Homo-oligomer: A and B are copies of this chain.
């Protein structure tokens, strides 16, 4: 069987996240239906991560196995013709037999967008966290964000809901920049806990609101108590943005 990795982009607004579930439309289910039709047999995809309801992907990797001989360069168009407009396959690459979009992933990056303006922007509905209350000081946010970088126990910034063996992860960077009214937070780690990025963003915004000193985020992390940290930021501002694999053909490692 061939093992094929698909590079995807999707607007998550209409979906209950990536993963298949009962009584709700998921990106995975939508994609598998189209793929099954195109390759002529039932398809099961493995996705790079379980994005939540309303969360988007600028870049996402899913792999599936197939007996079809359809060339990889023809697969995107064939699938896109059947997919709804809010999901796009941008590339298909044949990968090694053992490749798995989630377990082969070396690190991934999420981007979180805050629209910090008194006025709403009609074009950014469900695509940013609209934050009109005050002008957020990015330098304070960055000082708080710096506390997350490195290897830590991230229990304080994860929601309960999934079983994991360990809550220790390594955050490679958490960079916060402002361009006009948009604040962009880029977080890269070797793995993420449930709602981790959204809780990290909620926490740095709390620091900018003066709820606690930015440097105290280190103590909050050490305390391992979810209620000490900031709230979970809304899903519409979150985008899976880059993925890294040790796999030839996947853009020399970084997919974006």
Q: Is A191 on the interface with B (CB-CB < 8 A)?
A: no
Please state if A125 and B90 are interface contacts (CB–CB under 8 Å). no
What separation, in Å, do the CA atoms of A153 and B8 have in the docked complex? Answer: 47
Choose, from A40-48, A79-87, A96-104, A144-152, the stretch at the interface.
Answer: A79-87
Instruction: Please name the residue on chain B nearest to A123 by beta carbon.
Output: B11
Q: Is A88 on the interface with B (CB-CB < 8 A)?
A: yes
Indicate with 1 or 0, residue by residue over A66-94, a CB within 8 angstroms of chain B CB atoms: 00000000001000100001111010000
Contacts of A121 in B (CB 8 A): 9, 88
**A residues 1-54 touching B (CB-CB < 8 Å):** 9-11
Q: Is A108 on the interface with B (CB-CB < 8 A)?
A: no
What separation, in Å, do the CA atoms of A80 and B119 have in the docked complex? Answer: 9
Please state if A122 and B76 are interface contacts (CB–CB under 8 Å). no
Contacts of A127 in B (CB 8 A): 123
What separation, in Å, do the CA atoms of A180 and B242 have in the docked complex? Answer: 19
Among A11, A80, A119, the most chain B Cβ lie within 10 Å of the Cβ of A119
Determine which of B9, B85, B122 lies in contact with A85 in the assembled complex, contact meaning CB atoms within 8 Å. Answer: B122
Q: Is A211 on the interface with B (CB-CB < 8 A)?
A: no
**A residues 140-196 touching B (CB-CB < 8 Å):** none
Determine which of B87, B120, B122 lies in contact with A122 in the assembled complex, contact meaning CB atoms within 8 Å. Answer: B87
**A residues 103-144 touching B (CB-CB < 8 Å):** 119-123, 125, 127
What separation, in Å, do the CA atoms of A80 and B132 have in the docked complex? Answer: 13
What separation, in Å, do the CA atoms of A127 and B85 have in the docked complex? Answer: 12
Give the distance to chain B from A255, nearest Cβ to Cβ, in Å: 14
Contacts of A9 in B (CB 8 A): 121-123
What separation, in Å, do the CA atoms of A122 and B11 have in the docked complex? Answer: 6
A90 and B76 in contact (CB under 8 A), knowing A85-B125, A125-B85? no
What are 22 of the A-B contact pairs (CB < 8 Å)?
A9-B121, A9-B122, A9-B123, A10-B122, A11-B122, A11-B123, A11-B125, A56-B123, A76-B119, A80-B120, A85-B120, A85-B122, A85-B125, A86-B122, A86-B125, A87-B122, A88-B119, A88-B120, A88-B121, A88-B122, A90-B119, A123-B127
Q: Which 6 interchain pairs have the tightest Cβ spacing?
A: A85-B125, A90-B119, A88-B122, A88-B120, A9-B122, A11-B122
